Amino acid sequence: MATDTTTAPAKMNAEQFHDWTKLPTNAGRRYELDSGEVIEMPPPTRGHGFYCWLAIKLLTEYLTRRGVGHILTNDTGIVVARDPDTLRGADLMVFLRPPQPADFERPYVEDVPDLVVEIVSPSDTAKMLNRRVEQYLRRGIPLVWVIYPQTHLVYVYRPNEFNIVLDETDELTGNGVLPEFSCRVSDLFTLPGGQLPNASN
């Protein structure tokens, strides 16, 4: 979606961006920052929220079994580059450590999560997704999952490795990042009770 450049400064850092998004004229709108430039994002669809929930459910169960760790959801902002600043709204971020009071002193995530999960929406293009993944990996995030609800595929990315594509017959593991995590890929697309929803999101 095009950004209204009459209201957005030409370039901003993450701190300026945070203040700018709080202006009354920007209420209820979603933005990201890419190399200092503001990008307006469409609101997530119902299907997008549903598939986020399935991923959250599996990862919450995993962290509960471990007894430590936390998840950030709801497009929480993460700073993936500085000078110029890039800030992305990740669908899910998993941290294997417990949250600390110091984590909440800044509005955005500036440390490195153990896993970032992106749920692909119909408005996402391959170019946009590749750029996001490259930025996450360059930031030092050790594991990225990109989930495609329409095709029931999961793309797994690790730094300096070829990506892996998994389908519903495969097992998704923690790839050496999430100890002892595993699930069927189909679990990311299956309703409780084993029923598969419509693939559209």
Assign residue 172 the CATH number of its domain.
3.90.1570.10
Q: What is the DSSP string of 69-127?
A: -EEE-SSEEEEEETTTTEEEEESEEEESSPP-GGGGGSSSB-S--SEEEEEPPTT--HH
63-102 tens-digit pLDDT: 999 999 999 999 999 999 999 999 999 999 999 999 999 9
In a domain, 106, yes or no: yes
* Residue 49 located in a structural domain: yes
User: Which pLDDT band holds residue 111 (cuts at 50, 70, 90)?
Assistant: very high
- Give the list of residues 6+ apart from residue 60 with CB closer than 8 angstroms, or none: 71
* In a domain? residue 12: no
Does residue 27 form part of some domain? no
Give the mean model confidence (pLDDT) for residues 35-56.
93
pLDDT value for 110: 96
Residue 99 belongs to domain spanning: 44-76+87-188
Which pTM does this prediction carry? 0.90
Pairing of strands 30-34, 37-41: antiparallel
Which has more confidence, 138 or 1?
A: 138
Decide: helix, strand or coil at residue 56.
Answer: helix
Domain assignment of residue 142, yes or no: yes
113 domain-assigned = yes
Is 171 a member of any domain? yes
Stretch 53-62: mean pLDDT? 97
Could you report the per-residue pLDDT of 165-199, keeping only the tens digit for each? 999 999 999 999 999 999 999 999 987 766 666 55
Please report whether residue 179 resides in a domain: yes
pLDDT value of position 84: 95
Q: Give the pLDDT mean for 95-118.
A: 96
Number of domains in the chain: 1
My answer on whether omega of the bond before 142 falls inside 30° of 0, hence cis, is no
